[in-house]
Structure 1
Amino acid sequence: MAVKQDWQSPIAPGVSWYQATAGERATYPELDGSKTCDVAVVGGGYTGLQAAYNLAKAGVSVVLIDANRFGDGASGRNGGQLGTGQRWWPEELEEKIGYERSRALFDLAEGAKKHLLDFASEHQIDIEFMPGQINVAHKESYKRSYIENAEIAASRYGYPHVQFMDRQETQERLGSKRYHCGVRDTGTGHIHPLKLLIGLARVAANAGAQIFEMTPATAVRNDGGKVRIDTPKGTITADKALIACNGYIGNLEPVTASHVMPIRSFIGATAPLKDFPAVLPGGEAVADSRFVVRYFRKSKDGRLLFGGREAYTSDNPRDITEHIRRQITEIYPALKDVEITHAWGGSVGITMPRQPFVREVMPNVTSIGGYSGHGVMLSNYCGKLYAETVLGKSADLDLFKALDIPAFPGGAAMRAPLLFLALSWFALRDKF
């Protein structure tokens, strides 16, 4: 069994199935010397590159840096599912913030979905979009909430694309008897995330953004009204700055680090399932109701891409294939001996309420991240909205700024241990 893995790096670049199938991946220079610009961006994922592109095409001078290669973070390694709405179902969010704000956030997410698909089409980026997403219940007691979700989406949120599935339909659409019921969303789908990222970097550079790889930020500070970002070989001086590091914030900026926590998430890719036509015959992506979500989908060439193991530390396990295989086998017993050709992982930035963190963390410095597993659409759109805020075109980013995102408790020394205990408890609750 051939399994491509390299867990020496905290990001482990170049080992994912995405990397193996993305085609040509351009390289960009390191920053060598100092720069002055209107807006500096730290982080070359979806958020940072979308911000850089939208600012540059409007004539704003932009310098963007990333500590690694573009695509080595979450934007190039994630599950590829677009989803609908926010991380919470709209009726759940409505209970906390009211209908008006919940509806505004839902509509914003629909705008994010349209923007992503339109952007890829306009710039001829083959993101391998495949339609459809299924959310399934791993406990029978959840059936009522799934029925209500489909009804509420149509009647209160103007979204008629969600349909309830009973046990039989769920089993037929998944090719598995593991789940009790579900909802099928025909208004969304899934993509090849690294192809989107590669195309986005190209488009940003062509628009005039100065983008640099392998250039870590070592400090961010406001100095006499100017933002200064130190790097190993120079300083970037800007009027404004965006920190878009998400789960890779490290110790760069303490406010973000106290609100956005990295957890490790892992995915395995099987060989093409030519002998298993019953597995996801409609080609939809799937996410289940566990707190520690299991998410899976079929690629265009018929592989099962399965994510389902989270680790609540910064360490990488030496071999995650058997963990992934165990979870695949729980859902698809017939796949117990299937070849797993690739296995990879990366950091996902989460917040306490699993909603995005958007805040001015020092004068003229905005930080955006913490998409909590729902970032393919939202991170792209948040980058665009940041640019529109700078340009004075839109205040939609304020919808995220208004969310109550508390810091993780315990201070720097206790955040990770407390998170480990809390999420381990939720994982245990998923089982029982």
Structure 2
Amino acid sequence: MFRSSPQHTDTYYAATSREWQVERPALAESMTADVCVVGAGFFGLYCALELARAGKKVVVLEASRVGWGASGRNGGQMIIGFPCGMQRLKGVMGQERAREMFDESRRAVQQIRGLMADERIDCDLVEGHLEVAVLPRRVADLTDWIEECETEWGYRRLQFVDKAELPKFLNSSRYQAGIIDPEGAHIHPLKYVLGLARAVEAAGVRIFEQSRVEGYEEGPGSVTVRVAGGMAVKCDQLVLGANAYVDKVERKLAARMLPVGTFIGVTEVLGESACRSLIPHNHAVYDNQFILEYFRTTADHRLLFGGKCTYLGGTPLNLPEAMKTNILRAFPSLKTAKMDYAWGGHIDITMRRMPDWGRRDDRIFWAQGFCGHGLVPTRVAATLVTEAMQGRTERLDWFQGIVNPPFPGGERLGGLMQAVGMGWYRVRDLV
């Protein structure tokens, strides 16, 4: 389903960014470059921008369109930290290095805001994020996170909101308490990634769409990247940023990552008053269930609601109504609201939900395993990877201690095992 078309999926984002979408040519002849980047999503484009600014000749190859994958169809939530949790990073690299990575995620948020301002990327930026608990027993997870941030990571800006005060920020009886993070935000991700691509091209990078990479070979002093149609790019260094779609390019990396389907639905226009009655301060919101849901309102006053996941490649029957069912658990008042959009896409999950970032022979570099929380970590990964590509390998090598084992039995059996495991967590989320 998610690989059938080289054009943008029919999403709310695609429908509201037509004027931003520029069709770029496919690679029509072989060429050379200092760096070849595979994948025109957040991570690949960030790498291309940093390397071009450092004076490198960079080529980006994209199998479909800029932002076609998760970068252009995600929930748009910009959140500090890492999806695996800071304690798991600490367990691998120690307190001091984990603290630096937490700080790097905060810097990444500011770098993203800076790019929006400097490059005039109008992508519906709204400040503020709210994490909430569905189950009373998970309110303690919220307060524990506040304490951890203050004592271990030096972050003291989180605000706890108890159940009595929560309706001032989220008008739903489903939720028990919350945390407001003023450094979080939400955006229109496709507008952002398309604006980022314009900035990358302005820095001198050439982006080729509809240019599917079929593999690569390392030779003496160079890497040859094979492109469908018989073309090739010969480069000194290669960046693999295909993430959930890396299987066609690098099988060894693909074995450590499972593409998991996730889904979003968007209502009809509700109006500003109705939207503010649901989320009075227009925060981005997600809950702290293991299989979480996330939602926010859009610039044209709709509710955008994400959740559900599939490990076996299917799509829920009647996806708009399936998403509406989830919405009504949070907001029963929207019973008569129509669904205008519903779509899915793959995210790149590692077995232990840990980042898979690294290098090989100072010629091949990659980052994957963003596990559905990639808008900010892709910026962090690009910073570390491009540092390493220019000889400063220390911080990227902190991630070498992370062991991301291959999924047993490959994608099909691995997906089945994950589906069984997620069934258990779904039950846990209900009690």
TM-score by length of 2: 0.93
1:236 corresponds in structure 2 to 233
Q: 1:266 Cα shift? A: 0.8
State whether structure 2 residue 24 is matched by structure 1 residue 28.
Answer: yes
1:248 corresponds in structure 2 to 245
Which of 173, 176, 184 aligns to 2:180? It is: 184
2:14 corresponds in structure 1 to 19
The 1:37–1:8 alpha-carbon spacing in structure 2 relative to 1, beyond 3 Å, is closer
1:77 corresponds in structure 2 to 73
1:3 corresponds in structure 2 to none
Q: 1:162 Cα shift? A: 0.7
1:368 corresponds in structure 2 to 367
**Which stretch shifts more, 291-300 or 350-359?**
350-359
State whether structure 2 residue 256 is matched by structure 1 residue 259.
Answer: yes
Residue identity opposite 2:98 in structure 1: S
The alignment yields a C-alpha RMSD, in angstroms, of: 2.2
Q: Distance in 2 between matches of 1:346 and 1:35?
A: 32
CA deviation digits over 1:343-372, x for unaligned, max 9? Answer: 111111111222221123576212211101
The 1:84–1:265 alpha-carbon spacing in structure 2 relative to 1, beyond 3 Å, is same
CA deviation digits over 1:84-109, x for unaligned, max 9? Answer: 21114435654665422321221121
1:59 corresponds in structure 2 to 55
The 1:145–1:64 alpha-carbon spacing in structure 2 relative to 1, beyond 3 Å, is same
Residue identity opposite 1:404 in structure 2: V
Q: Distance in 2 between matches of 1:100 and 1:10?
A: 45
Q: Is the 8 A contact 2:6 2:210 kept in 1?
A: no
Q: 1:157 Cα shift? A: 1.7
CA deviation digits over 1:36-94, x for unaligned, max 9? Answer: 11111111101111111111122211111010011111101011101121114435654
Q: 1:430 Cα shift? A: 1.7
Q: Is the 8 A contact 1:351 1:372 kept in 2?
A: yes
Q: Distance in 2 between matches of 1:158 and 1:129?
A: 26
2:278 corresponds in structure 1 to 279
The 1:303–1:238 alpha-carbon spacing in structure 2 relative to 1, beyond 3 Å, is same
**Which stretch shifts more, 230-239 or 84-93?**
84-93
Q: Distance in 2 between matches of 1:142 and 1:78?
A: 25
TM-score by length of 1: 0.93
Q: Give the secondary-structure state (helix, strand or coil) at the position aligned to 1:84.
A: coil
Q: Give the secondary-structure state (helix, strand or coil) at the position aligned to 1:164.
A: strand
Q: Is the 8 A contact 1:309 1:323 kept in 2?
A: no
Q: 1:11 Cα shift? A: 7.5
Q: Distance in 1 between matches of 2:64 and 2:317?
A: 22
Which of 145, 148, 151 aligns to 1:152? It is: 148
Q: Distance in 1 between matches of 2:89 and 2:35?
A: 33
Percent same amino acid at aligned positions? Answer: 33
For structure 1, list consecutive stretches of 5 or more residues without a partner in the other structure.
1-5
Q: Is the 8 A contact 1:10 1:314 kept in 2?
A: no
Task: Give runs of aligned pairs for residues 13-412 of structure 1, distance below 5 A.
Answer: 13-22=8-17, 23-91=19-87, 93-94=89-90, 98-233=94-229, 234-274=231-271, 276=274, 277-317=276-316, 319-360=318-359, 364-392=363-391, 395-411=394-410
**Which stretch shifts more, 412-421 or 193-202?**
412-421
The 1:413–1:195 alpha-carbon spacing in structure 2 relative to 1, beyond 3 Å, is closer
CA deviation digits over 1:365-397, x for unaligned, max 9? Answer: 122111011100111332243223222357433
Q: Is the 8 A contact 2:222 2:237 kept in 1?
A: yes
Q: Is the 8 A contact 1:389 1:397 kept in 2?
A: yes
Residue identity opposite 2:243 in structure 1: N
**Which stretch shifts more, 138-147 or 115-124?**
138-147
Q: Give the secondary-structure state (helix, strand or coil) at the position aligned to 2:78.
A: coil
Q: Distance in 2 between matches of 1:380 and 1:99?
A: 21
Residue identity opposite 2:390 in structure 1: L
State whether structure 2 residue 412 is matched by structure 1 residue 416.
Answer: no
Q: Give the secondary-structure state (helix, strand or coil) at the position aligned to 2:255.
A: helix
Residue identity opposite 1:59 in structure 2: G
